[in-house]
Amino acid sequence: MKVLATDGLSQSGINKLKDAGFDVSVTKVAQEQLISFINEENINVLLVRSATKVRKDLIDACSSLKIIGRAGVGMDNIDVDYARKKGLKVINTPTASSNSVAELVFAHLFSGVRYLHDSNRNMPLSGDSMFKDLKKNYAGGTELRGKTLGIIGMGKIGHEVAKIALGIGMKVIASDDHVGETMITLNFYNDQVVTIPIKTEPVKDILKDSDFITLHVPAQKKPLIGKKEFEMMKPGAAIINTSRGGVVDEVALIDALESGKVRFAGLDVFEEEPTPAIRVLMEERISLSPHIGASTNEAQDRIGIELADQIISLSKEETA
């Protein structure tokens, strides 16, 4: 079988597929050329990340396809139901990048509470001439320990976020449409284990009671957090979005930052990717990263191996 990983695949995943007899290509193919490439090369397995879209027109036009794989969690860039109705297998890696995304949440949180995202902009410009002024400007940070973190969406990533939060002494509250109560297990040295139950609450309570809010939900048809939701938050709260662009109304976010209602924000995803709004990019109270939540070496290795295992398993089923 021929595999096209048009958005890339870890070497460990490539090696595992090749060892199992697959012909693997990591050629980057432009969206508008993808259908012709698949047909010309007789591709059987298409692997994508978030950049490449797999819609009905591609599914209908590419009869050689047997498997579509998403190297990551969300599959909103794939017409999953339609593909499955047409007899294709659609797979993803729901757990492989959870820890990487969770750690990025805290990178933004630590950056925000100590103004690192802004001081890292200004120290190279005027650190040698305005050191004392900058020291004064960036003093008055706060600690995360003892503060309340509200997690909206308690899937795999939400669980990993909760583990880190509890580990550094934060109070954790959560909301989820499908989970009523969840158990967070912390593993320590010498096989010590602590399990903590967390009951989920309505989103309005999370907004009202949290010092910091982090979002871990699928793509939404309309923003989950807009003007009304910002008004419900505690004065000086902060928000982190590493889930999907459009979950947070960026205009409402800027207004909340400028009014002081929200102290800072951390964004890894944006309404308009790959060209985020300039107003968002220039806002000094936003810690920014370019959609890199799952982009650690460890996560990419896990994703590649997990995809390879699934593809090998499915191919064996087909030939059995």
Instruction: Give the residue numbers annotated as catalytic, written as ranges.
Output: 244, 272, 291
Separation between Cα atoms, residue 38 and residue 34, nearest integer Å? 6
Query: What token pair was written down for 112?
Result: 């925000």
Residue in the block written with tokens 């100590």? 114
Element (H, E) at 183: strand 181-187
Query: What token pair was written down for 318?
Result: 């087909």
Check: CB of residue 172 under 8 Å from CB of residue 145.
no
Separation between Cα atoms, residue 47 and residue 305, nearest integer Å? 13
Check: CB of residue 186 under 8 Å from CB of residue 159.
no
Separation between Cα atoms, residue 112 and residue 115, nearest integer Å? 5
Q: Please name the residues in contact with 296: beta carbons below 8 A apart, sequence gap of 6 or more.
A: 97, 100, 103
Separation between Cα atoms, residue 173 and residue 177, nearest integer Å? 14
Chain center to CA of 265: 15
Separation between Cα atoms, residue 163 and residue 150, nearest integer Å? 13
SS3 category, 27:
coil
Element (H, E) at 131: helix 131-137
